[in-house]
Structure 1
Amino acid sequence: MAAAEPEHVAWLTERQVARAWPTIRATCLNATANANGVRNTLLTANSTWGESKWSMFHPEDVARVAGAIADGTAELQPHWRNDTPEAKLLDRRLRRENLPGAIGCALLIAIPLAVIVIFLVLSWNDSGSSSPSYWH
């Protein structure tokens, strides 16, 4: 009897899984996959900036869990979904926690920009008054 040839599987990326599971938060894809028995593999690559790791998921398992999510039988925590009251509460909390950083980034851009504009306005006004040829 001949040995069975290994099955060729076109593993799915996280982006493809996110499209297959639109009601699941992108940050919770791995947790959802692990809770529902989705086969996955972790790939690693080295580059100039260090090691990168990403997960790839088995397409049959992803399709099975997509059906389970649709009919409500998937093993899910409420905050993993993006359409539950818990998820909305989490979104509000994250926005509140990230607000100081957003304000800091805005100030980091606005203050140097304001200084440059003031400098340009002052230098433009000074250039006309210093030349006696403008006084006729």
Structure 2
Amino acid sequence: MAAAEPEHVAWLSERQLARAWPTIRKTCLNATVKANGVRNDNRVSHSTWGESQWRTYHPADVARVARAIADGTAELQPHWRNDTPEAKLLDQRLRRENLPGAIGCALLVAIPLAIIVILLIISWNGSGSSSSPSYWH
């Protein structure tokens, strides 16, 4: 007969799960949970601003899988880890795919900023009349 589990177990948040498994990519935590049979629970909270949902994870299962990750017996795909050649290739591919978006975002910020700076320079230089002395000495 299995030992009775304590009634009040402090289940772990996703942030705590990520800290317990530092070699697992954050985007692959859920896949690792499913592949390794970690008990999890969907929690719901209702407030004035609506409903919030989040997952919590059983600490004994998280610790079991952390040991399995450390000794290499956990059920993992190579790209789920941060420290494999497959993960490095995936990172490079994602950087290449996201580069146009990053450039677009930079331009979206830089162009209006440049226009504002140019308008400020024009307004400062054009604020005095031609007969009055310049404030820029």
Please indicate, yes or no, whether the TM-score normalized by the shorter chain is above 0.5.
Answer: yes
CA shift for structure 1 position 50? 5.3
Structure 2 gaps, min length 5:
none
Within 5 A, what are the aligned runs for 1:45-60?
45-46=45-46, 51-60=51-60
State the number of aligned residues: 131
The question of 1:70 aligning with 2:73 is answered: no
CA shift for structure 1 position 54? 1.7
Inter-partner Cα distance in structure 1 for 2:17 and 2:57: 8
Inter-partner Cα distance in structure 2 for 1:88 and 1:22: 16
CA shift for structure 1 position 115? 0.4
Q: For residue 9 of structure 2, what is the aligned residue in structure 1?
A: 9
After the TM superposition, which parts of structure 1 deviate over 2 Å for at least 4 consecutive aligned residues?
A: 44-53
1:133 alignment partner AA: S
Inter-partner Cα distance in structure 1 for 2:52 and 2:72: 34
Q: For residue 26 of structure 2, what is the aligned residue in structure 1?
A: 26
CA shift for structure 1 position 122? 1.0
Inter-partner Cα distance in structure 2 for 1:86 and 1:103: 26
Inter-partner Cα distance in structure 2 for 1:48 and 1:108: 35
User: Once superposed, what is the RMSD of the aligned Cα atoms?
Assistant: 2.0
SS in 1 for 2:117: helix
Q: For residue 131 of structure 2, what is the aligned residue in structure 1?
A: 132
Q: For residue 44 of structure 1, what is the aligned residue in structure 2?
A: 44
Larger mean CA deviation between 41-50 and 90-99 belongs to 41-50
Inter-partner Cα distance in structure 1 for 2:98 and 2:120: 34
In the superposition, the TM-score normalised over structure 2's length comes to 0.86
Deviation string, structure 1 residues 81-101 (Cα, Å, up to 9, x no partner): 010011111111111111111
Q: State percent identity of aligned pairs.
A: 79
CA shift for structure 1 position 44? 2.4
Relative to 1, partners in 2 of residues 1:5 and 1:23: Cα closer, same or farther, differing over 3 Å? Answer: closer
CA shift for structure 1 position 47? 5.3
Relative to 1, partners in 2 of residues 1:69 and 1:6: Cα closer, same or farther, differing over 3 Å? Answer: closer
In the superposition, the TM-score normalised over structure 1's length comes to 0.87
2:131 alignment partner AA: P
CA shift for structure 1 position 55? 1.1
Higher helix share: 1
Q: For residue 99 of structure 2, what is the aligned residue in structure 1?
A: 99
SS in 1 for 2:53: strand
